[in-house]
Homo-oligomer: A and B are copies of this chain.
Amino acid sequence: MNLPPINQSGKGSNPGDALLAESFSQKVQSRWDRSLFLCVGLDGSADKLPSFLASQAGEDGLFEFNRQLIEATAEFTAVYKPNIAFYEQSGPPGLVALKRTCDWLKSRYPEIPILLDAKRGDLANTNESYAAAFFNYYKVDAVTVQPYMGAGVLAPFLDRPEKSVFVLCHTSNPDSAQIQGLTVAATGDYPAEPLYHRVARLASSSEWNYNGNIGLVAGATFPAELREIRELAPHLPFLIPGIGAQGGDINQVLEYGLDERGAGVLINASRSIIYASKGEDFAEAAAREAANLARAMREGQERVMAARR
């Protein structure tokens, strides 16, 4: 864990800035300013905890697992991303653990934003309830959503300029092209192109991104597609899953995903960090893995930006 000092980019902000920052965008910018790109997926589930924690009651064990993981990885982490599915898995107690994790994280590390991976999408009237759950109850800073129903229904998420909304564009699963890769016909100003291109263009448009708070989900397992999406959406932040357990390559992700400022990417790893060890040393093992990934990302970013100059 002996990392060289962070914030070598010279773009650093004052130490107090992060505490004053309120929006997801501002908080993430402060992390990027410190050359932090790692998104840690808090995807523990009660049935997969290290055995010495699993003996605690479900919600207590899961919260304690997260608390120790966060303490161990915070200095390497740009954003934490719990996927709500793992907390929903066993009903309300898991969601109590999610709530405790979010509350504790916000008080202990207010400068690190929370992106809730929920991939929701419903009618506007219903999305109001999801937005209330995520932004008012769990108080997260950003969420992931589905594009299939169009942008109108997403208003309850998009209408909050201080929150960010990551729209699924090209996901990391092997057969994601089945729908996302279909060629859609030209319409209006848009050319004939794959559906994920159209989603990237729409998400960048003033019709969808009227509050400037949209990001895109683009899987690391499809580097060529990631490059195309960056060309189509040069200024949007990307959430990039698929390194680690899924096999995506960090250097390619940085080469193709970084924006012109050398930022704009949140590269997620979940299982490779949180389950780096299943023993009592799980937090230490997670810290080592997170440190290695964070260093690889910082060094990769420097290489990419040097090569671009």
Residues of A at the B interface (CB closer than 8 Å) are: 43, 45, 83, 85-86, 88-93, 95-96, 99, 117, 119-124, 126-127, 129-130, 132-133, 137-138, 146-153, 168, 171-180, 182-185, 187, 192, 195, 198-199, 202
Contact = CB atoms under 8 A, between A and B. Distances in A.
Contact of A96 (B92, B149, B198, B202): B92
12 contacts: A85-B133, A89-B129, A89-B133, A90-B137, A117-B122, A119-B121, A121-B121, A146-B148, A147-B148, A152-B178, A153-B173, A185-B192
A182 B182 CA distance: 10
B175 A198 contact: no
Contacts of A119: 120-122, 146
A237 B298 CA distance: 52
Residue among A88, A130, A173 having the largest count of chain B Cβ atoms under 10 Å: A88
A123 B180 contact: no
Given A90-B137, A92-B96, A148-B168, A179 B153 contact: no
A53 to B, nearest CB: 18
A21 to B, nearest CB: 26
Nearest to A99: B91
A137 B168 CA distance: 28
B147 A85 contact: no
Copies of this protein chain in the complex: 2
A45 B93 CA distance: 20
Interface centre among A124, A130, A149, A168, by most B CB within 10 Å? Answer: A149
B90 A133 contact: yes
B187 A182 contact: yes
Contacts of A147: 148, 179
Contacts of A149: 168, 171, 173, 176, 179-180
Contacts of A177: 150
A42 to B, nearest CB: 13
Contact of A150 (B90, B132, B150, B173): B173
A133 B89 CA distance: 4
A147 B130 CA distance: 20
Contacts of A195: 179, 182, 184, 195
A14 B93 CA distance: 41
A198 B179 CA distance: 9
